[in-house]
Amino acid sequence: MSDQQTPKSAGFRMPAEWAPHQRTWMMWPTREGFWPDMQETRRNYAAVARAIREFEPLTMLVRPEDAAEAKSLLGSDIDVLTNPIDDSWARDAGPCFLTDGKGGRAGVSFGFNAWGGKYQPFDGDNAAADAILNAAGVPIFHSGLIAEGGGVSVDGEGTILTTESCFPNANRNPGWSRSRIEEELKAMLGGDKVIWLPGNVEETETDGHVDGIATFVAPGVVLIEAEGPADHDWHGINLANISAIEDQTDAKGRSLRLVKIPDAASAVSDDPRFCRSYVNSYICNGGVVMPEYGIREDGLVRETFEELFPGRRVAQVPIPAIAIGGGGIHCITQQEPAA
């Protein structure tokens, strides 16, 4: 692609997650020493993949040496693509797919540095976006911005949601002003307006990815973590994020409706990385795949999802051996939109 031409100038934009998918992409867990029980984590990943496969095709990137085991756990109806990856966060290391509304598709490959250099090596994961886009057979736009897919949510109509605590962090984009980051996001994702939330500086695994805090679920509708009780660890943080968005309008000028849901605060884990976010769920063709923690909130949030997505079936998957890595179902998936 020409250095002068951007996806936006070429007529492309990132569709909303609820738009029709061609398939889902995932990446197989591999980083030794990161996962307390690698086999259990791989079983959790396989369970998520099989739940998604009930709704749409799915391809798993897998290191060549892990292919046989992955195929046995995933089953014959999930595609496996061998590639030298470092670990398993397809939302972040993978690309952001784009469409032009005329049957054309493309993708953005942002730079990836393992959430600010937190893990080594990351060169395999930094190359994963190009590998996925090449496998999908679509043109690639490369961006000089260090960014992860979990750091943005889009409504497909020009609005981008992101956080102050993530991409402007010096561990990713030193020397980039917020306004420069904003312009790059709009150029790469086809956006017209960026809404900035404070994020979460206390969530140090991703530095406050928006997909654990708030996400578009329909035009003009944002699902967001509720503030929780006053003694909740992140009560003030959640309040600040709610306050930053509640009076906003989207790129079309619509006032935003906020749908608040609790997090899984009572889920038991000693690991400070443990992901308790129900916002971190995944919308796919005809379905929504959400985490199950074995607590009362599972049912409450499921009821909210059934109201928000009346035409989709809600599937719940236990993810204790994924959440312990600091992410959830959204973090390990990346949608490829249909043309």
Which amino acid is located at 259 in the chain?
V
Alpha carbon 266 to its chain's center: 23
Among all chains, which residue has been given the structure tokens 């999930």?
78
207, 115 in Cβ contact below 8 A?
yes
297, 264 in Cβ contact below 8 A?
yes
Q: Which of 95, 28, 22 is nearest to 67 (CA)?
A: 28
> Which is catalytic among the residues 166, 275, 284, 331?
331
Q: Is 96 a catalytic residue?
A: no
- Residues 297, 50: Cα–Cα separation, whole Å: 24
Q: Which of 121, 70, 128 is nearest to 96 (CA)?
A: 128
Q: At what angle do helices 67-74 and 38-53 cross, to 10 degrees?
A: 50
253, 210 in Cβ contact below 8 A?
no
CB atoms near residue 79 (< 10 Å): 16
Q: Catalogue the active-site residues.
A: 331
